[in-house]
């Protein structure tokens, strides 16, 4: 039987990533959408014929099985917890939560009602999956490089992405969360015993570095108070070291992602472009290097955004598996603690004119 689905949040992600894919997917019947903005509601209602509501109060478990939630970050926990308590399963866009307290609130809501699942697009890419298949050939894994660097890709200045009170952070929360999901997909979770982070905001205040592919509405708000670049270095309990870089903007010519895995018996490296930027490499490249010889691994071509549809392909089965309950919250708690730890490390070395926030973490886990 098809799952009855609703989309909550009709911004760029709700409209462009989820609504059309849900309506086309054989496992789902899209029955409603929700957004507080009258213009967004009217546009989607006119284009789809769906009932579009102002708040999630209009949804209940008698009419909706699963809600795909794509609201601004600071509303994730509030909206998801409300739906979970009503017995509606929730598929929640990253970041799942912005603090350990929010993770606790989601866990409590899930115990009382519906199941929580988390979006993790990058880990569902075909090229990332092919990289994962090479790991047995690399011997003991020693180090992983994770970098997502855009040439020009700062979300619209003044929008919620660049307001810490609404986003929970800058590029580390946005792109970095995807990279940490890839880390877990490749080598699983582990406690982090050493951690160092640094952030900068050289590009944030100039519109010349903004993303060109997003169709955000103009805003007159302030430029923002988050970082546009974050760097980190981690050492895990299993001995694997990890270097991390996430940048909304840089002096590179193209937007690109590098995922490199070094082992005792070889190195695998993926060069590609995550996301939807048109300023991308022509095709992903995956290589395996052993004893001075590098060979290229063939990759099947995938349409842009395939990883989002692939998440929906497996969603119905996950919703039917009781063993999945609680997993998304546990992984999100580990990830948010790691993000907070990197921010805390970065604040310790920021210039004196940058007011620090009081958050410290001695030990965290990757997710």
Cis peptide before 306 (omega within 30 of 0): no
- C-alpha Rg value of the chain to the nearest Å: 20
All structural domains of the chain: 3-121 (3.40.50.720), 124-307+336-348 (3.30.360.10)
Nearest C-alpha neighbor of 95 from the set 366, 360, 336, 361 = 336
Q: What is the pLDDT of residues 38-59, one digit of tens each?
A: 999 999 999 999 999 999 999 9
Kindly report, residue by residue over 295-322, the tens digit of the pLDDT. Answer: 999 999 999 999 999 999 999 999 999 9
**For residue 356, what pLDDT is reported?**
39
Mean pLDDT of the chain: 92
| pLDDT per residue as tens digits for the range 328-342 | 999 999 999 999 999
Mind listing the pLDDT tens digit for each residue in 247-274? 999 999 999 999 999 999 999 999 999 9
Per DSSP, 320 falls in state T
What's the confidence (pLDDT) of residue 362? 40
Separation CA 342–CA 119 (nearest Å):
22
**Contacts of 135 by beta carbon, 8 Å cutoff, 6+ apart:** 141, 186, 187, 261, 263, 268
Percentage with pLDDT > 90 across the chain: 85
Residue given tokens 């001695």 in the structure block: 362
Other C-beta atoms lying within 10 Å of the C-beta of residue 131: 25
Would you say residue 207 has pLDDT above 90?
A: no
Cβ atoms 207, 157 nearer than 8 A: yes
Order the strands of the 241-247 sheet from edge to edge: 293-297, 285-290, 266-272, 256-263, 141-149, 241-247, 229-236, 190-200, 364-366
Which of these, 287, 362, 335, lies nearest to 123 by C-alpha position?
A: 335
Task: Determine contact, residues 189/365, Cβ cutoff 8 Å.
Answer: yes
Please say if the pLDDT value at position 215 is more than 70.
no
Question: How far apart, in Å, are the Cα atoms of 42 and each of 13, 19, 35, 60?
Answer: 17, 15, 10, 22
**CA–CA gap between residue 85 and residue 115 (Å, rounded):** 10
**What global pTM score does this model have?**
0.91
Helices 327-348 and 171-187 sit at what angle, rounded to 10 degrees?
130
Range name among 76-85, 206-215, 285-294 with the lowest pLDDT average: 206-215
What is the tens place of the pLDDT at every residue in 220-241? 445 689 999 999 999 999 999 9
């Amino acid at each position: 039987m098809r799952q009855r689905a609703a989309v909550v949040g009709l911004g760029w992600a709700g409209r462009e990533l989820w609504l059309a894919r849900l309506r086309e997917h054989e496992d789902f019947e899209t029955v409603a959408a929700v957004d507080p903005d009258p213009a967004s509601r009217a546009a989607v209602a006119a284009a789809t014929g769906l009932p579009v509501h102002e708040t999630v109060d209009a949804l209940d478990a008698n009419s909706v099985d699963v809600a795909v939630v794509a609201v601004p970050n600071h509303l994730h926990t509030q909206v998801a917890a409300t739906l979970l308590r009503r017995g509606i399963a929730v598929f929640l866009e990253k970041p799942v939560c912005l603090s350990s307290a929010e993770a606790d609130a989601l866990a409590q809501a899930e115990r009382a009602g519906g199941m929580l699942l988390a979006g993790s697009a990058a880990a569902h890419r075909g090229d990332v999956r092919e990289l994962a298949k090479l790991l047995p050939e690399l011997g003991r894994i020693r180090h992983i490089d994770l970098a997502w660097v855009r040439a020009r890709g700062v979300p619209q200045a003044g929008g919620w992405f660049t307001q810490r009170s609404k986003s929970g952070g800058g590029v580390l929360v946005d792109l970095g969360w995807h990279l940490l999901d890839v880390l877990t997909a490749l080598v699983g979770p582990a406690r982090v015993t050493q951690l160092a982070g640094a952030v900068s905001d050289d590009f944030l205040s100039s519109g010349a570095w903004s993303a060109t592919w997003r169709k955000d509405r103009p805003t007159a708000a302030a430029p923002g108070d988050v970082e546009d670049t974050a760097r980190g270095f981690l050492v895990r309990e299993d001995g694997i070291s990890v270097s991390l870089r996430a940048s909304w903007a840089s002096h590179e010519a193209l937007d690109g992602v590098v995922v490199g895995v070094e082992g005792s018996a070889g190195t695998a490296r993926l060069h590609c472009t995550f996301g939807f930027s048109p300023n991308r490499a022509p095709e992903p490249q995956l290589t395996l290097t052993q004893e001075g010889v590098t060979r290229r691994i063939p990759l099947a071509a995938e349409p842009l955004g395939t990883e989002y549809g692939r998440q929906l392909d497996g969603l119905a089965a996950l919703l039917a598996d009781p063993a999945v309950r609680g997993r998304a919250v546990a992984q999100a708690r580990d990830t948010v603690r790691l993000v907070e730890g990197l921010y805390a490390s970065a604040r310790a070395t920021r210039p004196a004119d940058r007011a620090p926030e009081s958050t410290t973490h001695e030990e965290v886990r990757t997710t």
